[in-house]
Structure 1
Amino acid sequence: MVNLTHKQQFIAYFLASNVLVIFAVWPVLESSPNIFSAAVQLSEGIPLVLLANWAVAMAIVIGKLLQQLMFGELRLLEIEHIYERSKFEVINSLIALTMFNTYWLLIPGILTLVLLFVKVFHWLLNDRFEMIFQRATTPRDILMTRNTISLLILLYADFTMVYSCAEYTFGNTPDVYFAFGFEFTLLFIKLLSLTMNICLNTWEVHYLNTHPDEEVMESKELYLKIVKLVETICSLAIYHFLVFTFIGPNRIPIYLAKDTIFTAISLVKQVKEMMIHLKTAKELDSKLLDATEDELNEDNNLCIICRDDMTTVGVTKGERLYPKKLPCNHIIHLGCLKGWLEISQVCPLCRGPVFVDPPVTADNQQQQQQEPVPQPGQQQEQQAHHEPERPQPEQRETPPMETGVPGPPNINILDRLPHGGHFFHGQTETPTPTQTQSHGLPIVHNEANTVEIPINGLNPPGWTLFNVRPETYGYRVLLNPTQEVQMKKILEIPRDVFEQIDVGEGSSTLRQRSRGKQAESDETSDYLD
């Protein structure tokens, strides 16, 4: 079997269609006394099918010639889009033909063919301008192309078809011209939306050329959302109008169901996105702190989105390059943050929420930076301040190994506990000396019930350290001097894994208890991360 390419297959199909039409039409023309009688014979039976097939083949050839003239060679992506979209459109058009109350399908068939023909060119024009928007560096790259001429041609064709269908609506087949008139109206609205998109992108390219310090025009996204929202509202209104017009006891416009439902879903989604966009624009200044130059010097001053250095020197508050501090303490350019929030509402690095309650305003920003964040149980501590303080275990640290590198700063772990140094049973035994790991970072060991972390370790965002006492079936947590909670054990670590964990001398009792449980019931150590 000979393998033919798509081009060779179409050439064979086109030649076969012409040959069949010639054999079907020529005998009728020879035997008929006039053109009228020949037309009557060709309008029924097999000759009608052959003529319709020949019309489709000729339409494809004409379309291919116009495509070469208006767009040139097509990209692989554009060809795939045509195949993907045309399958549904052809089926939808055949279903639409069954809706009209007429036995003469010549006019609906011709209008259906023209509608499919025009839709393909609309798809190509949209794909071609999307490619141009990504590559254009000057307004000339967008406007001075043959795609602009194609846009004008399609605008004129859509308007002409809408006007013609509206004029013939009052004829013999009003429902046919009425339905196709609104179909061409939808195409005309989408083409107007594309025109506005072209204008906005041209304006952005000109703006970026005149403002070399800027990377994007912020207002363009809002205008694009408004244009898309107006287009969706108009399309949904036309679909609902067609549904309520054609629905009846003897017919149901099934071919409009998919477009109506999908357009309604798109409208709801766009309204939500618009509300989020407007809300985000208002909350950026009211709920996010301004990063200071000291914070930029202490932390990494590299924006995690654009990978540029951040600074507050010479940058006016509210500009795109002004650094903003997220609740998770990550710092990002204001403009980069706006672009990121259109995709997600979480931090791009740690996935923490960008906006948290209560809001932080510019007035209380300085007060919040100076005052400590209130922790659970603070009120109970204030009420019980008259109670005598329990003796705190004295903390001793051994200096790190001499490695030639300055060691980390000394941090008291008790300062991180919101409830202070109150431990269970008022332990007063002598604390275990601090050990030094092989990498030179000392670990503080106060007692068996204290939390053990490196002295230069940082708490994860939103985490709080509490005193925990292991029990038989869980743990008992001290929230404050007057409140305790009980937690059940949810995770057990196997003994072989637990043996590899360096928990230090301060937890030797806990390790022995774990070994005893493992020998009796194959349980494992109570280890709380």
Structure 2
Amino acid sequence: MRLGWYAGASTALAGTVVLSAFYQRANFYSAMVYLAQSNFCLLVLVNFSLLLYSSFVYGLTRMFFGPLRAVEVEQLTERAWFAITETCLAMTIFREEIGAWFLVMFAALVTGKVWGWIGDGRVEVLEQQPPANPRLFHLRLSLSLTLSFIYDIYILRYTINTVIQQARPNMMVMFLFEFAVLATSSWRTAARYALSLTEQNIQESQKRKRLAERRQEVRQEREAIIRQREAAAAAGEEVSDEPLPNEDDIDEMDIEVPGWSAKGEFVLWLDLVTDLVKLGIYIVFFFMLLAFYGLPIHIMRDLFMTARDFIKRLGALMRYRKAIQEMNRYPDATQEDLGREDTCIICREEMRPWDPENNPGAMDRIRPKKLPCGHILHLGCLKSWLERQQVCPTCRSPVTLSENARAAQNRAAGLRIEIGGGRPADQQPPANPGAAPVQGQQNGGAQPEQRPAGPRIFNFGPLRVGFGANGQQVRELAQQFGMPQAALNQQGLAPPTPGAGTPIVAGTTATVSPLPTGDNLQNVGTLLSQADQQS
């Protein structure tokens, strides 16, 4: 409703200023001069031109994409604000060259970005769920992606030719790099759409092949039952009246296919290469503007986000390949394991024990695998999950064996430090039998063992700072850093030996709880410096 009021008011104002100009001036030329020299008339006409252009783009969007969903409108609004803000910051760099042509190029840039965002979102929707009308959906999406890529390449070529002809840095340099990034994003979206189409074709061919095999099995089973009945009738035995299996009763929805398992790695490589190209474009653009105009504030966010995404995708790809290599080392879930947990947390389907001998038609993707943390998932669901994250979807622990063992060691070491450096309760050494029993033990009651006070631990992101550590905790910390026993003796942190007044009984071990000392913090610093020198 508000948009309708805006369109009506803009049209009325534009018509009013044009009629007023022709009424006040005698001929067409003088009327055009009046409209061009009046700031108010220019503002009204530019606003009306933007309204017409927006209406044209909206019509093309409805024709190629159909009605937009609410989530798409929200995402477009959020991204458009960032794009407009960055362009306003760019105006501060090219403020001497701002004019009508700058607004035209800016409108063209926003149009290309909006089309790219919508196309990328539609490809993601295609990967998540099949469309209601596949023929119309694919026709619209393929035409829109092709038109978007041609549009970006055409304007990129125009900006390159303009920069070469002018042979000086100006606002066209900014649009050159912007459309280069936009063309890269359009290429990535088109390549991902091609991968999705390839996956669908592979699944369809696998489904047709599996359906033909299943129908052949039903026909063979039907012929075998008919022969058995004929043999029974010839022998004078009673013939069963059960209905024969029919191959037409097979539903295509019940056919399971392995799919295209290599798609996930291709998508990761595609995103990594795209981020690498975009990062190179942003770096060149950043240093070029820095050399001629000063610090380009408007692309610092994009440069940082692209560099961060590239590093994250590179690490994710390396972890994914490592997890895929170690996936075959994961044991299959047994019947006892599935008795405790028989539902896959990703697909929410029931898991069954893997028995390829008795069930030769079972797909490898439904094979239940037990992760190092103990949780069970389908093999296919696990592969699809590893494309996004390399941790368990239930407990968030690493899925690779080496990282899981390292995380367990770190948790155990941190637990020992936090509880005061003592051993767990089931590994505590026996108490000193030579000491006098306390009153509770004389009466037959169990007196809980008192642990030494642990340090106060403060977490500052990846840093952990502790205060009030005693000598035993310092020794354990030094052992974790690989300090030799001689260095501990030099610092006076060797394990305490029982004194002369402490009775020792054969077969037992005397333990002395060291008291906190004021020099432990200095000792820790000395040990850490020695560890750095040795490493």
Range into which the TM-score falls when normalised by the shorter chain? 0.5 to 0.7
* 1:324 and 2:366 correspond: no
- Aligned partner of 1:266 in structure 2 is 309
Confirm or deny that 1:111 pairs with 2:105.
Answer: yes
Residue 206 (structure 1) aligned to one of 198, 201, 215: 201
Q: In the alignment, which of 263, 277, 289 is matched to residue 331 of structure 2?
A: 289
Aligned counterparts of 1:289 and 1:485: Cα–Cα separation in 2: 43
- Alpha-carbon distance in structure 2 between the residues aligned to 1:298 and 1:223: 36
1:182, 1:7 → 2: CA distance?
A: 33
**Residues 119 and 141 in structure 2, CA contact (< 8 A), matched pair in contact too:** yes
Q: TM-score, normalised by structure 2?
A: 0.61
- Give 3-state SS (helix, strand or coil) of 1:214's partner: coil
Q: Does residue 188 of the first structure (1) align with residue 183 of the second (2)?
A: yes
Rounded to whole Å, the distance in 1 between the matches of 2:91 and 2:396 is: 52
What is the CA-CA distance between 1:115 and the residue it aligns to?
1.1
Question: Does the CA contact (< 8 Å) of 1:24 and 1:47 recur in 2?
Answer: no
Q: How do residues 47-58 of structure 1 correspond to structure 2 at under 5 angstroms? A: 47-58=41-52
Residue type of the alignment partner of 1:222: E
SS at match of 1:309: coil
277, 284, 295: which one pairs with 1:234? 277
2:85 maps to what in 1? 91
Paired residue for 2:448?
A: 470
- Asked whether the equivalents of residues 189 and 231 of structure 1 are also in contact (C-alpha less than 8 Å), the reply is yes
Q: How does 1:399-414 map to 2 (within 5 A)?
A: none
Q: 1:207 to 1:48 in 2, by over 3 A?
A: same
Shift in alpha-carbon separation, 1:23–1:257, aligned structure 2, 3 A: farther
Corresponding residue for 1:337?
Answer: 382
Q: Which amino acid aligns with 1:183?
A: E
* Aligned partner of residue 328 in structure 2, secondary structure: helix
Displacement of 1:124 in angstroms is 2.1
Taking a change above 3 Å as real, the CA distance of residues 249 and 152 of structure 1, as seen in their structure-2 partners, is: closer
| Gap change, CA 1:322 and 1:13, over 3 Å in 2 | same
Aligned 1:426-445 pairs, distance under 5 A: none
Indicate the residue corresponding to 2:266 in structure 1: 223
Between Structure 1 and Structure 2, how many residues are aligned?
A: 380
Q: Taking CA–CA contacts closer than 8 Å with sequence separation of 6 or more, which of the two structures ends up with the larger relative contact order?
A: 2
SS in 2 for 1:98: helix
Give, in angstroms, the shift of residue 324 of structure 1. 2.8
- Measure how far apart 1:295 and its partner are: 4.9
Tell me if structure 1 keeps the 8 A contact 2:369–2:379: yes
Of the structure 1 ranges 65-74 and 269-278, higher mean CA displacement relative to structure 2 is found in 65-74
Partner residue in 1 for 2:494: none
CA–CA distance in structure 1, aligned partners of residues 367 and 513 of structure 2:
45
Answering whether residue 268 of structure 2 is matched by residue 243 of structure 1, we say no
Contact 1:182-1:238 within 8 A present in 2 as well: yes
The unaligned stretches of length 5 or more in structure 2 are: 208-254, 406-425, 435-443, 454-506, 515-535
Residues 1:327 and 1:9: Cα distance change in structure 2 (over 3 Å): same
More moved, 231-240 vs 151-160:
151-160
Distance 1:158 1:196 in 2: 15
Tell me which residue corresponds to 1:309. 351
Query: Is the CA contact (8 Å cut-off) linking 1:70 and 1:146 kept in structure 2?
Result: yes
Residue 373 of structure 1 is matched in structure 2 by: none
Q: 2-side partners of 1:118 and 1:226: how far apart?
A: 25
CA distance in 1, matches of 2:136, 2:118: 16
Give how far 1:327 is off. 3.5
Equivalent residue, structure 2, for 1:60 = 54
Compared CA separation, residues 326 and 256, structure 1 to 2 (3 A): closer
Q: Aligned residue for 2:118?
A: 124
Within 1, Cα distance between the matches of 2:84 and 2:272? 28
How far apart are 1:312 and its partner, in Å? 2.7
Greater fraction helix: 2
Aligned equivalents of 2:7 and 2:353: distance in 1? 65
Q: Output the CA distance in 2 between the equivalents of 1:448 and 1:281.
A: 55
Q: How far is the alpha carbon of 1:26 from its aligned partner?
A: 2.8
1:275 is aligned to 318
Mapped contact 2:195–2:263 kept (Cα < 8 A): yes
Q: CA separation in 2, counterparts of 1:89 and 1:158? A: 17
- 1:253-287 CA-to-partner distances (Å, cap 9, x unmatched) read 2221111111111111111111111111122234x
Q: Structure 2 residue aligned with 1:72, among 56, 66, 73?
A: 66
Q: How far apart are the structure 1 equivalents of 2:126 and 2:398?
A: 36
When residues 61 and 214 of structure 1 are mapped into structure 2, their CA distance, relative to the original with a 3 A threshold, is same
Per the alignment, in what secondary structure is the counterpart of residue 164 of structure 2? coil
* C-alpha distance 94-348 of structure 1, shift in aligned 2 (>3 A): closer
Structure 1: 5+ residue stretches without partners = 361-416, 427-446, 450-468, 476-480, 489-529
Are the aligned partners of 1:302 and 1:309 in contact in 2 as well (CA < 8 Å)?
yes
Conservation of the 8 A alpha-carbon contact between 1:132 and 1:142: no
Cα displacement string for residues 420-468 of structure 1 (whole angstroms, at most 9, x for unaligned residues): 9x99869xxxxxxxxxxxxxxxxxxxx977xxxxxxxxxxxxxxxxxxx
Compare 340-349 and 180-189 and name the one that shifted more: 340-349
Aligned residue for 2:369, secondary structure, equals: strand
**What is aligned with 2:139?**
145
Paired letter, 1:470: P
SS of the residue 1:324 aligns to: strand
Q: Distance in 2 between matches of 1:144 and 1:116?
A: 25
